[in-house]
Amino acid sequence: MELAGVLQLGELAAAFAALPVFPLFDTAYFIVSVLYLKYEPGAVEMSRKSPFASWLCAMLHCFGSYILADLLLGESPIDYFSNNSSVILATAVWYLIFFCPMNLFYKCVSFLPMKLIFVAMKEVVRVRKIAAGVHHAHHRYHHGWFIMMATGWVKGSGVALMSNFEQLLRGVWKPEKNEILHMSFPTKASLYGTILFTLQQTRWLPVSEANLIFFFTMFMIVCKVFMTATHSHASPFAPVESFICPVFFGSVSSGHTSHHHDQHGASHEVSHPPPPPAKSKEELNEGTRKRKAKKAE
């Protein structure tokens, strides 16, 4: 019975991996991507003042990962725009979200139960893109582990990695919001996922690609749906990172601890009442004149 259950799970994973993402899952991916664009401050005003700039930003949100991956592999960054069906579909989603009368389309897709479904479908596309990026890089660089990981990473989180450039198109410059410095959960998950897919592609991880796609997709769906439903920004990796990072990279609070000790030491030293301030030269001269005046009297 256990063997039959394993076989059935393998068949389910294979069927899931072969499931086409266009147009249903791609539509959900475009909807969530353009929704995040509309949430940005000033995005609605920009769409009215400069629709073309708004459209470019929407295309970066939808296809930024493909642009970065093509740049890494030495291909044309506009190669994916030859896919007319995807570009037209993304454009239609952008237009409906920003310009639909009475914001009807936006109200429908941003309704939380609907939005959770779209978020789950977007993670299906994300994991497929990571796997496809690693597979594509492995086809060209059989022993280039870091090239595979870099390609899969930007395929999964290219939009976030291009956030500074996208901000420039909107007339905003926020270098402190660099995704490399402050990684969000999708960026971290894409990085860890591309490591797993690279190990699988190089035969170091004894798992089939279909099974890895299935299980990693389920993990991403559960995490993202829960975070979206609870409006949480806490990373599920935080407990593990808080345990591992101090061991391998040192504790950030070590320097602050010594600083706090210095501050506490200084506070102990100044806890005694300070000595009375020394009199200035002018005050001494004034006192001397008063004593001389008393003697004269």
92-133 pLDDT, tens digit per residue, is: 999 999 999 999 999 999 999 999 999 999 999 999 999 999
What length is written for the chain?
A: 297
62-98 pLDDT, tens digit per residue, is: 999 999 999 999 999 898 899 999 999 999 999 999 9
128-176 pLDDT, tens digit per residue, is: 999 999 999 999 998 899 999 999 999 999 889 888 888 888 888 777 7
The confidence band for 7, taking pLDDT boundaries of 50, 70 and 90, is low
Q: What is the mean pLDDT of residues 18-41?
A: 95
Is 269 a member of any domain?
Answer: no
171: phi > 0 → left, psi -120 to 50 → alpha, else beta; which?
left
**Are the CB atoms for 62 and 92 separated by under 8 Å?**
no
The burial class, CB within 10 Å (0-12 / 13-18 / 19+), for 173 is: exposed
Is 280 a member of any domain?
Answer: no
Is 275 a member of any domain?
Answer: no
- Tell me how far apart the alpha carbons of residues 8 and 15 are, in angstroms, rounded to a whole number: 10
Is 226 a member of any domain?
Answer: yes
Number of domains in the chain: 1
Q: What is the mean pLDDT of residues 190-209?
A: 95
Range of the domain at 69: 7-233
Is 238 a member of any domain?
Answer: no
Is 294 a member of any domain?
Answer: no
The burial class, CB within 10 Å (0-12 / 13-18 / 19+), for 295 is: exposed
The confidence band for 235, taking pLDDT boundaries of 50, 70 and 90, is confident
Is 286 a member of any domain?
Answer: no
Kindly report the average pLDDT of the chain as a whole number. Answer: 84
**Are the CB atoms for 149 and 194 separated by under 8 Å?**
yes
pTM for the complete prediction?
A: 0.81
Is 276 a member of any domain?
Answer: no
Name 90's Cβ contacts closer than 8 Å, sequence gap at least 6.
Answer: 30, 34, 58, 59, 62, 63
Task: Tell me how far apart the 2 most distant CA atoms of the chain are, in Å.
Answer: 120
